[in-house]
Amino acid sequence: MDRRALDRLVYGLVWLACFAPLLWLAWRGFNNDLGANPIDKLIRELGVWGLRLLIVGLAITPLARILKQPRLIRFRRTVGLFAFAYVLLHLTNYVVTDQWFDWAAIGKDILKRPFITVGMAAFVLLVPLAVTSTNWALRKLGPVRWRKLHRLTYLIVPLGVIHYLMLVKADHQPPLIYGAIVALLLGWRMWEATRKRINRPARG
Amino acid sequence: MLIRHGGDLTENDVTPRDVYLRRRDFMSGLIGGGLALAGGATAGAEAATGLKGIASPYSTKETPTGRADITGYNNFYEFGLDKEDPARNAGSLKASPWTVKIDGHCNKPGTYDIGDFLRGNPLQQRIYRLRCVEGWSMVIPWLGVPLADLLKKYEPTSKAKFVAFETLYRPSEMPGQRRAVLDWPYREGLRIDEAMHPLTIMAVGLYGESLPNQNGAPMRLVVPWKYGFKSIKSVVRISFVEKQPRTAWNDSAPQEYGFYSNVNPTVDHPRWSQASERRIGEFRRRETLMFNGYGGQVAGLYSGMDLKKNF
């Protein structure tokens, strides 16, 4: 297999891995296998998968550096856009199937329920990142500004974890595990940034 | 605050005179042969199928939720945290033999076999709405006995201001208890007048069968005007106490789960609205009713109380 075909195959596999949870949910929904409260189940599953993919997206850069595999970076956009798709479906399900466009109730939720306020903030911040994910937008913004804008993920992902943590009733373990991973990934970035700053004057 | 009166009782709900007059026949029949669950606890709770209960005027006319949903979608953390976990894991619970310890301020404390505890009380069918604090609801055809009829036998004294309940603690059979998600054993409590209210029952069955383990076998409380977590499952201890007892969810998050926990659409859970609910099996949410629609019967218990403070 030549390099190009292999690339395409790997890319296809990544794409499929991101798409699989949605297919699985759709399949279960279609077969009436989402339990007694399918709307609640669907919203939760979509939210959790959105968060998982956001975290995977956040892990790609450190992995690429640590494993010295810079080409991993090319999956960042796919993973990030899939994360956005899950989050968007999560929100859509809340607005449509759960609340049935009851805008008054939704507005109250956003203002009065801190976990929804936080989730909504994370979504709003995620939108510009999805919108500027095209090559055209990258060119238009220029790499420096683009990179600055996309550092919003360092805020968005923790907000997603907090959103999850705040809605849990008794078992805080799953959101705390996600939180620990995010802390590790952001901690690595801070450590990297500090190291670079220290190294730079030495070089100059 | 606004208290809506009038449940769904009408003239038609009154037990017909002939049925009423035959009630003793029914009771003796029940005691003679049908009390398999209470009398023959040694036969195992799962053998006690085909239970029958006298229809009750307290039952709602609403269509009961399907059996598969009632027995497959449960909050019973002793068997896991997901709604499907109890149905999967509760098979390990040995619901027979079963004893219940009665203690505190009463003249006849002791540890009683479940058969003796229930003996002499005809089963009633109570079709009740159940509203979970999480914002979903069901309609469940319980089979049970008014709690008051059970408790009176133990002659609570004037010091018995509250009744405290405890669930079985047996981690070997309740895998969820191996993690301290809540401070086990699960505890609940009622004010004595709430416990003695005719709507409050000790349920031993649903849909004409003894309780499946995941629904709180062999017996569980049902307090239909309160959020579901007040209706404690698999009860092994009932104590008559003078002071308001501690309760599991109140211990876990006191600002979120009050001692009373009456269904109240005007008092939101700090993290979510309680104004509406999703009836399992329905698509659109429906409005939540004050006291879960039982205000006509129970609002009097709380007259003069600030229900926002005593949530």
DSSP B9-63: --GGGSPPHHHHHTHHHHHHHIIIIITHHHHTGGG-GGG-BS---EE-TTS--SP
Give the pLDDT score at B39.
38
CA distance A140 to chain B (A): 42
Would you kindly state where each structural domain of chain B is located, as residue ranges? 11-302
Q: Does domain B11-302 have CATH number 3.90.420.10?
A: yes
Could you tell me the two tokens for A174?
């799953």
Examine the pLDDT at A7 and tell me if it is beyond 50: yes
CA gap B63, B129 in Å, rounded: 10
CA nearest neighbour of B172 among B93, B74, B87: B93
At residue B119, the 3 state secondary structure works out as coil
Res. B270 pLDDT band, cuts 50 70 90:
confident
Between chains, do A37 and B77 touch, taking CB under 8 Å as contact?
no
CA gap B59, B141 in Å, rounded: 8
Q: Is the residue at A139 inside a domain?
A: yes
Q: Average pLDDT for residues A174-183, to the nearest whole number?
A: 98
Could you tell me the two tokens for A6?
């292999």
Between chains, do A108 and B272 touch, taking CB under 8 Å as contact?
no
Contact B170, B237 (CB under 8 A): no
Give the pLDDT score at A198.
83
Q: Is the residue at A11 inside a domain?
A: no
Res. B14 pLDDT band, cuts 50 70 90:
low
Give the pLDDT score at A42.
96
Q: pLDDT by residue (tens digit) across B183-216?
A: 999 999 999 999 999 999 999 999 999 999 999 9
| Structure ipTM | 0.88
Of B137 and A171, more confident: B137
Q: Which of A28, A34, A37 to mutate to test the interface with B (most CBs of B within 10 A)?
A: A37
Tell me which residue in B83, B272, B275 faces A35 most closely, judged by beta carbons.
B83
Q: pLDDT by residue (tens digit) across A128-143?
A: 999 999 999 999 999 9
CA distance A83 to chain B (A): 24
Examine the pLDDT at B4 and tell me if it is beyond 70: no
Q: Is the residue at A42 inside a domain?
A: yes
B181 touches chain A (CB under 8 A): yes
> Residue B8: what residue type?
D
Give the pLDDT score at A199.
79
**CB atoms near residue A56 (< 10 Å):** 20
A193 touches chain B (CB under 8 A): no
The domain in which residue A140 lies consists of 36-203
Q: Is the residue at A21 inside a domain?
A: no
Examine the pLDDT at B158 and tell me if it is beyond 80: yes
A–B: how many Cβ contacts below 8 A?
A: 51
For B218, which DSSP code? S
Count of domains forming chain A: 1
